[in-house]
Amino acid sequence: MEMQFSLAHLTALELSPPELTYVAAKAGYDFVSIRPIYMGLPGEPNYALAENKEMMQQTKRALNETGIKLLDIELARIYEGLDPKIYLPAFEVAAELGARHVLSSIWTDDRSSYIEKFDELCELAEPYGLSVELEFVPIASVTNLKGVVDVLETVKRENTGIMIDAHHFHRSGDKPEDLDQIPREWFNYFHLCDAPSHIPSNIEEMKRILREERLYVGEGGINVAEIVNHLPQIPYSIELPNIHRARKLGYEEFVKQCLQTAKEYFSRNARVTLEK
């Protein structure tokens, strides 16, 4: 099966969803992954398409004109006090644009609360044909593979999955062979990037790297090929924010280089199927 690539929005967050789609198509991506859920972070653009009908129509037009597909939407965070129903407008947007998945992560330490809210999130997403992909994040509350497996085994929903991010996986201390114990159907796509092998002990430095200074695949210290070899063949969503490079090269050239370097890396590190 030929490798497929998506352009994750965080790689070029200054581009609106329609702009991202056109740039991704020109660079040769198969999918885009957009952020129509506004999180209100400092300096983050608001791409809440449910509230911006003009941008919604522009995004739909861009997808239709380019033939690019929408892989997933972000980010349905689970946090203290959340009413998961606030994500329903974004689910409607996702379904209308043909998305397959919703990315989620957990930002509260209250296990009983986040289990309940994640279960409700999956229930709300199901009528829209969406699976909810739970990602562990080193600066969040669920920070490793074991924590995500605990959630999925507890909620026992069919429309759930685990989304592995190369950066986060390396920082978690999990081992690639740990992935062999996970049901294959839980893997639907993978966040592709690289980063320095040294793991920062300072959370602010960790945050800075993951949001602003990830590296081209093969440029850092993560053995991406080894991780991928323990996963089924799934789309690779390139989430590779590097603000300095993007502004120096321009986003069109930067996202092109993100894809080109990934393809070159995999041409040098051919996939080995380890599944039985």
What is the structure's pLDDT at 45?
96
5-268 fold: TIM Barrel (3.20.20)
Closest by Cα among 181, 128, 191, 125 to 155:
125
* Confidence (pLDDT) at 1: 66
- pLDDT for res 271: 73
pLDDT, residue 7, reads 98
Q: What pLDDT is attached to residue 42? A: 81
- The one-letter code for the residue type at 71 is L
| Residues of the chain below pLDDT 70 | 1, 273-276
The residue extents of the domains of the chain are: 5-268
Per-residue confidence (pLDDT) for residue 43, from 0 to 100:
83
pLDDT of the residue at 276: 42
What single letter denotes the amino acid at residue 28?
G
Angstrom distance (rounded) from CA 149 to CA 152 = 5
pLDDT, one tens digit per residue, over 53-105 is 999 999 999 999 999 999 999 999 999 999 999 999 999 999 999 999 999 99
pLDDT for the residue numbered 274: 54
